[in-house]
Amino acid sequence: MTRTANPGTASPQASSEIEIREGLEGVTPGRVAVLYRRAPLLRPVSDPSKLRTMFERASLVLTAWKGSRLVGIARVLSDGVLYSFLVDLAVEPDVQGLGIGRLLVLSVLERCRGTDLLVRGNLGRLFRHEGLEVVTDAWMVPAKRTPH
Ligand SMILES: CC(C)(COP(=O)(O)OP(=O)(O)OC[C@H]1O[C@@H](n2cnc3c(N)ncnc32)[C@H](O)[C@@H]1OP(=O)(O)O)[C@@H](O)C(=O)NCCC(=O)NCCS
């Protein structure tokens, strides 16, 4: 899926209490594993070294904080010129549906402006103001790996 720039609005419920931060500060494999397990998001949560690599090699990591609590996370792979790929988005279940996912998406769009943003999965409603298009010419060679 790709987007064209047209920023929408995030839910006021989330934006008043939630701080979006960029970078790896406070993003430990342990914290990420807890969030992914709860969300849930099927990732290698039992392997801290893999989780660390996934985050260190990401082009952009955005986190959502409610006070000192990590409640949401987004990871983007990007060449900074043509393409960005939002690969993982997760929000703590007790605060899902409050607009935190959308806040993270808007922050990703802002930082990836000028590139085509690709997204996998059923996240259409999170992008509903952004000119999202379904692409039919994308292909993938799935990795041969053991299930997480
Ligand atoms: C997907 C996810 C990140 C959304 O976060 P959230 O904070 O609950 O989302 P928001 O509150 O900002 O919702 C924004 C819109 O997206 C919709 N939406 C939320 N979760 C969705 C999902 N899993 N699939 C499709 N649409 C979803 C909401 O209904 C809302 O639309 P509406 O305003 O028309 O009602 C969260 O549900 C989650 O962590 N799910 C488990 C992990 C996952 O599936 N991640 C995506 C694959 S990488």
26-62: pLDDT as tens digits? 999 999 999 999 999 999 999 999 999 999 999 999 9
Contact between 106 and 8 (Cβ < 8 Å)? yes
Domain 12-127 has CATH 3.40.630.30: yes
2: nearest Cα among 101, 140, 102, 135: 135
- Which pTM was predicted? 0.88
For residue 148, is pLDDT > 80?
A: no
Judged against a pLDDT cut of 70, whether residue 6 lies above it is answered with no
Residue of minimum CA distance from atom 16 in ligand 1: 126
Backbone angles phi, psi at 68, to 5 degrees: -95, 5
125-139 CB burial, b ≥16 within 10 A, e <16: ebbeebebeeeeeee
Read out DSSP for 65-132? EETTEEEEEEEEEE-SSSEEEEEEEEE-GGGTTSSHHHHHHHHHHHHTTTSEEEE-SS-GGGGTTTT-
Structure tokens at 35: 């969030």
104 Cβ inside 6 Å of ligand 1: no
Query: Measured from the CB, is residue 44 less than 6 Å from ligand 1?
Result: no
Sign of CA dihedral 102, 103, 108, 110: positive
- Of the pLDDT bands very low, low, confident and very high (cuts 50, 70, 90), residue 141 is very high
**pLDDT confidence of residue 14:** 65
7 pLDDT higher than 60: no
pLDDT at 10: 56
Q: How far is the CA of 126 from the centre of ligand 1 (A)?
A: 6
Give residue 22 CA to ligand 1 midpoint distance, Å: 20
